[in-house]
Amino acid sequence: MKRVTKISIIAAILLSAFSCGEKENVDAASKAYLRLDLQEKKVQNSAGSFEVYISSNTTWTIELQSEWIKTSRTSGKGNLSVRINYEANESGKRTGALLFKADGTKPVQFLITQSSLLFSNPIFQMPDPYIVKDGDTYWTCKAQGNGINISRSNKLSVVNGTRQVWATPYDSGSNKVWNRANVWAPELFHIGDRWYIYYAAGRPTSETNGSYNTQRTGVLRSKTDDPSGAWEDMGMIYTGDNYTKGIVPTVDNTGYAIDMTVFELKGKLYAVWSGYPPGSGNQWLYIASMENPYTINSNRIAISKPDQSWELANSKINEGPAVLINEKAGKIFVVYSCNGSWTKHYRLGWIMLDMDKDPLVASNWTKSPQQAFYRCDNTAEGVNGVNGVGHCTFTKSPDDTEDWIVYHVKRYGTDGWDERYAFIQKFTWNADGTPNFGTPVGWGEELDLPSGESM
């Protein structure tokens, strides 16, 4: 992965807020103004360039204040893009400046700082990314064809090459296995002295007129405490409405179940997943208790359904649940994706539970008042951008001092499941204990390395 450097752009500027499909509306009859479209920018130590978009209704000039910075023009009028070029940096860090001026406006200083301890997104081409930290190691788990691959790294910002640890079984004569095709969104958990992978799979769509109705959840268990070793298939997990002790899960007595994740609360294990409500192709979030990491021992209980305007941009889908725990605040969050994953409307919301309440009581969960994480650059094919975000997970920096969200981004604004890439970025917490994910970073945007990670 290409390493990049740090640029801080500190400017007293006004910004226009854009959302998908919206355009800037400037009153040409207003008093003189000068705007830049960037507040902060980070660049690599090698020579390079980037563009700054200037919005103005008058003439303006650029004063170069550092010898190693040049611009494509030093003056202009109205709205224009200016390319800023910078030379290679042989030192560890340096700061340069530009000054944007226009009569009747306050000059805007634009600071550029180069440094080596940075990375840029995306970090890997991978939908439904799952990265888990265990000790000093980051394990990545992903679907690869009709199988599941994993890899290890000592850096959060670097995903190394993966290798297959499991492949779907084959039919044997008239015996048709339930998990022959369509492996989706595997998640890797270290529980006790074993590792577990929860995944969705089903029958080939050629047998179901293109439908994915046979998708169910299965679980794999490592044979040792090493996830890079051998694995065994523990079978399908029960996800139905008519649980009885000892029931053997089948496609007929379970429901559509994808994106399963698990969490522990007060010594008890729970599973959360996305499934169909009775008689509907919509997707809700369900929870059930677990007897052990491969056995559910209760009926499913719906804890979230798409019922807010920001969840209903183009479909009725809640999926991709990821558990985030704030121990200090005593709260558990299930952060989920909504709208169509194939569209630019994909985004995150959350439901919250106080840790002293029963997670199996649906009314104990409360939903975020608005979307929690969304960006849409609405870029056309061939133009890199962030066009919907979703299917996240959470991890820590190498020194465990920072919280990081892992999620995927659609590269283009057109519909489709291709061109989805893994991004990571740091997040913080609000005073009320809820997560503050900020704004999704841009494609190729440079960020500080996770704390404790070196080059």
pLDDT tens digits, 309-327: 999 999 999 999 999 999 9
Q: Give the model's pLDDT for residue 455.
A: 67
Q: Give the model's pLDDT for residue 46.
A: 84
Q: Which residues contact 107 (CB under 8 A, 6 or more apart)?
A: 99, 100, 101
Percent of the chain with pLDDT over 90: 85
With tokens 């051998």, the residue in question is 230
Average pLDDT over residues 284-304: 98
Q: How far is CA 372 from the centre of its chain?
A: 12
Percent of the chain with pLDDT over 70: 93
Judge contact between 20 and 376, C-beta under 8 A: yes
- For 190, other C-beta atoms within 10 Å of its C-beta total 16
Q: Residue 219 is which amino acid?
A: V
SS (H, E, C) 312-364: CCCCCEEEEEEEEEECCCCEEEEEEEECCCCCCCCEEEEEEEECCCCCCCHHH
Residue 29 in this model has a pLDDT that exceeds 70: no
Residue 134 in this model has a pLDDT that exceeds 60: yes
Residue 399 in this model has a pLDDT that exceeds 60: yes
Average pLDDT over residues 215-232: 96
**Of 6-10, 51-55, 90-94, minimum mean pLDDT range:** 6-10
Instruction: Report residue 20's pLDDT band, with 50, 70 and 90 as the boundaries.
Output: low
Structure-token pair, residue 264: 């522990």
Judge contact between 201 and 168, C-beta under 8 A: yes
Residue 13 in this model has a pLDDT that exceeds 60: no
Q: Give the model's pLDDT for residue 117.
A: 80
3-class SS of residue 293: coil
Q: Which DSSP string do the residues of 413-444 spell out, in sequence order?
A: SSS-SSSEEEEEEEEEE-TTS-EE---PPPTT
Beta bridge partners of 424: 406
Q: Give the model's pLDDT for residue 91.
A: 77
Averaged confidence pLDDT in the chain: 92
Q: Which residues contact 23 (CB under 8 A, 6 or more apart)?
A: none
Average pLDDT over residues 39-50: 81
For the entire predicted model, the pTM comes to 0.83
Beta bridge partners of 422: 124, 408
Q: Give the model's pLDDT for residue 24.
A: 42
Q: pLDDT of 408-448, one tens digit each? A: 999 999 999 999 999 999 999 999 999 999 999 999 988 98
**Of 24-28, 132-136, 272-276, 297-301, minimum mean pLDDT range:** 24-28
Q: pLDDT of 385-398, one tens digit each? A: 999 999 999 999 99
Q: pLDDT of 228-274, one tens digit each? A: 999 999 999 999 999 999 999 999 999 999 999 999 999 999 999 99
Q: Give the model's pLDDT for residue 307.
A: 97
Q: Give the model's pLDDT for residue 30.
A: 65
Residue 116 in this model has a pLDDT that exceeds 90: no
Q: Give the model's pLDDT for residue 118.
A: 85
